Amino acid sequence: MFEALSRPLSRIFAGLSRPGKLTEQNMDEGLGEIRAALLEADVHFQVAKDLIDRVREQALGTEILKSVDAGQMIVKLFHDELVALMAAPGEPLRFAKGRPTVVLLAGLQGSGKTTTAAKLALHLRDKLQRKPLLVAADVQRPAAVDQLVTLGAQIGVPVFHVPGRKPPQLAAAALDEARRLGCDTVIVDTAGRLHIDDELMDELVAVRKAAPPDDTFLVCDAMTGQDAVRSASAFVARLPLDGVILTKLDGDTRGGAALSVRQVTGAPVRFAGMGEKLADLQPFHADRMAGRILGMGDVVGLVEKAQGSIDEAAAREQMEALLEDRFSLEDFLKQLQSVKKLGSLRDVVSHLPGMPEGFDPDSLDEKKLDHTQAVVLSMTPEERRRPENIDMSRKRRIARGSGTSVGAVNELLKQFEGMRRMMAQMKKGGLLSRLAGKLVPGLGGGLPDMGSLLPARGAAAAAPERIDRSERDALRRSRKAERQRKKAARRRH
């Protein structure tokens, strides 16, 4: 995502952050390159110009060039300006009191309105504990009603439609149906066109009059770049919008629409479609998106993704197995399957900060996870529990069963044994117990929170440093003890 923008920006900022004095001249050269990168990424020309002008003005106005970390301060300024450019005040949705909340979805044909309606319903039900009702008011596109009915059945959300009725009538009747079913949110899927015309706008105005919406969202395809911004501008000119939902944002390598739509239209991005699955709709966070654009990652987003995909009870069981020296290849297989639930390796890595310069996400071999899983699945339950008993004949059988080679089986066993040795060392030094207490609440032998041992003033800032140093010392002591134990054993023999 945003690869065409994040790669050149990382290169430019790396140059600005090199040791040496940053002057006004080389800063202007760097900002000129950034402007070119923004335009190349299909960012609106006025948005790119205003962004660069604000960064330059702040850099010169606060005498940043005289500071030791001038290049890093430029990066921070640019990050803050990106956040301000995309951020929107308030909550993504406004809920009515005493009556069903109405959410109206509009957009051009092919933007993904119907699928987005189902995604939004699932998000409201699972994340916000709402009870949504989907309204199939797109009577223009063939099979649009059937598509929404099918999607509603997949997620277990009711869909309202009465054949022969016009969209305004459907919207008005849906409010009565919502009250009858006890639904508190009504999501109206309207028809789209290949272009904006009077017929489309008149229909939307009539639907709004029949069922006044609390939120009106325009659904845009992010991969169309400036076309998405132009269509949003045309809608804003004739229809009050509360926000934009960008679909296919995970496939947008440029990022022009995400960076331009708010400043050009005044309608902020409220939600983003981040995949093909119905669960892949997320509230749009400007600070996280700015971090990913600048290569700073989005750890918070990755943690939220993990919380929604990984079973806490299973994680607790696996951590207990680590603590009790009974972690097996069966536990390893469960961890592997949990990682695959997070999505593609490319997406997971895109959330991580500090990736090395020149790292190519395309170099990640997605199939290697499948091969590793196939090797483990080709083992018997006893072999997974006791991999040290796997001899050559068993390795050949496992290789044949998994469609791999004996070398691949040997590599997996060697890596697994190395991981077990590392865990044993961490356990001796107490580091594993500390990590267990942090990762899974309730584990770790009741170790106290290190932050609670620090003075109240400045505790938040000092805690990470104290914890990291203690963990490093513990690991160093465990390694030293292991070396002394091996040395003593050699003497005895």
Residue 39: per-residue pLDDT: 87
Sheet holding 215-221, edge to edge: 159-160, 132-136, 185-189, 101-106, 215-221, 243-247, 269-273, 281-283
Q: Is there a contact between 216 and 245 (Cβ–Cβ < 8 Å)?
A: no
Query: What residues pair up with 269 in beta bridges, in sequence order?
Result: 244
pLDDT tens per residue across span 58-114 = 877 666 656 556 667 778 888 888 888 888 877 888 899 989 999 999 988 888 899
Residue 468: per-residue pLDDT: 45
Residue 369: per-residue pLDDT: 76
Per-residue pLDDT at 222 exceeds 90: no
pLDDT tens per residue across span 2-46 = 777 777 887 787 777 666 566 777 778 888 888 888 888 888 888
Residue 128: per-residue pLDDT: 92
Per-residue pLDDT at 282 exceeds 80: yes
User: Exposed/middle/buried for 320, CB within 10 Å: 0-12, 13-18, 19+?
Assistant: middle
Which stretch of 94-103, 194-203, 244-253, 429-438 has the lowest confidence by average pLDDT? 429-438
DSSP letters, 85-149, are HH--SS-S----SSS-EEEEEE--TTS-HHHHHHHHHHHHHHHH---EEEEE---SSTTHHHHHH
Per-residue pLDDT at 488 exceeds 80: no
| CA dihedral (460, 466, 468, 470) positive or negative | negative
Distance, CA of 265 to CA of 281 (rounded, Å): 22
Please indicate, yes or no, whether the overall pTM of this predicted structure exceeds 0.85. no
Residue 412: per-residue pLDDT: 87
Task: Choose between 309 and 481: higher pLDDT.
Answer: 481
Residue 186: per-residue pLDDT: 96
Distance, CA of 462 to CA of 327 (rounded, Å): 34
Per-residue pLDDT, averaged over 387-416, amounts to: 90
Per-residue pLDDT, averaged over 299-322, amounts to: 56
Confidence of residue 177 (pLDDT cuts 50, 70, 90): very high
